[in-house]
Amino acid sequence: MARKFLYVIAVCVVLYILIRLILTFYAEDLTAMAFVPDGPFHDRPALADNAYQDAGMWIARPGMAKGADPAEWLPAGAQRAANPARPYVFFIHPTSYIEKGDWNADLNDKTSRQYAKLFVQTMASPFNAAEAVFAPRYRQAAIGAFLTDKPEANAALDLAYRDILSAFDAFIAQVPEDRPIVLAGHSQGAFLLRRLLRDRIAGTPLAGRVIAAYAVGWPVSLGHDLPKMGLPACEQAADSGCVLSWLSVADPADTAMMMAAYGRRKGLDGQPVGQSAFLCTNPLTGTPGGATDASRNTGTLVPDFSKASGELKPQTVPAACGPDHFLHIGPPPRLPLDAFVLPGNNYHVFDIPLFWSNFRSDFARRSAAWAEKHKVQN
């Protein structure tokens, strides 16, 4: 009996080692099998010109019933504050469609809508001192579009971008001409925001109205993207009219899968980005590069997705821009985040929540600087 038990233990150990080896050496292939759609790309007609006049096309917008706007949420202990610049915020949510049934999500897909609302709550809520926060629904590309170089992936991202362009034009039509704007996006939202900056901001009067562009969770290539975006990188903590970006990992980090996804897409100049350097803003200082200990972190948002809630934990997570251009947060923090950490110690889902309070302060500081520069009267 004891010998049979030892045989079972030995088999379990061998299986465990084999599984670990498979996950180590074939993680990208297995992930692609799980998430890349198998079928053809299904093009959709362009949205109607007035599509975003429909209140239902916005996850967050002014005029929603009390408690219905996820961007208005605040964690316990956070206080509402005034913003002297009274900016309008356009926020593009990250990928919430994680199925492989199609290359683009349907606008009425229940699960992706639920996740998108939670993402807006945790990532757009730092902006709720603004005059208004707008977060559009859009026919986002499936998560698998970032895991392959199939032409269907590019077509899916182009479709998503067409929706974002329509939403942005509807947003601008509602913003008074004397008010500044903030542009923000995470992950797929940041990927699309790069293009939006090139096509709607660069070389236009709107560039002078931008307080900041937060393109977080997707690399902004210093050579292939930034020169086309019409705004420079933020160099000082109180700069306005500039771009911030970072991608968060804990150590030891395996960034191979993320770099492969980055390398599959072309830059805004139409050239392959390859392994080119990308922007790393330290969210604890608001400046590029550098290392900062956890004492500067005024509040990490630890979300409770099951209850659509969360709490702030200060002085827990440090930040350092590494030579690989990723934002390193040291060893995995002792916080209940493990269920949503991606392979390779990738804290992608938490790029903004890890620094929620500092992110909020960054927005307030740059808004105040823009208001002072433009002599805004309260």
At residue 76, the pLDDT reads 87
Cα 174–chain centre separation: 24
At residue 126, the pLDDT reads 97
Could you tell me if 319 and 327 are in contact, meaning their C-beta atoms sit under 8 angstroms apart?
A: yes
At residue 2, the pLDDT reads 42
At residue 8, the pLDDT reads 31
pTM exceeds cut of 0.75: yes
3-state secondary structure of 93: coil
Could you tell me if 213 and 193 are in contact, meaning their C-beta atoms sit under 8 angstroms apart?
A: yes
Give residues with Cβ within 8 angstroms of 190, minimum separation 6.
92, 94, 214, 215, 216, 217, 218, 220, 245
3-state secondary structure of 281: strand
Could you tell me if 210 and 178 are in contact, meaning their C-beta atoms sit under 8 angstroms apart?
A: no
At residue 3, the pLDDT reads 44
Ordered per-residue pLDDT tens for the chain, 378 residues: 444 433 433 333 332 233 333 334 445 555 677 889 999 999 999 999 999 999 999 999 999 998 999 999 999 888 888 898 999 999 999 999 999 999 999 999 999 999 999 999 999 999 999 999 999 999 999 999 999 999 999 999 999 999 999 999 999 999 999 999 999 999 999 999 999 999 999 999 999 999 999 999 999 999 999 999 999 999 999 999 999 999 999 999 999 999 999 999 999 999 999 999 999 999 999 999 999 999 999 999 998 877 888 999 999 999 999 999 999 999 999 999 988 999 999 999 999 999 999 999 999 999 999 999 988 765
At residue 6, the pLDDT reads 33
At residue 376, the pLDDT reads 72
At residue 30, the pLDDT reads 57
Q: Where are the domains of the chain?
A: 1-35, 39-373
Q: What is the rounded CA–CA span in Å between residue 90 and residue 136?
A: 8
State both tokens at 371: 């208001």
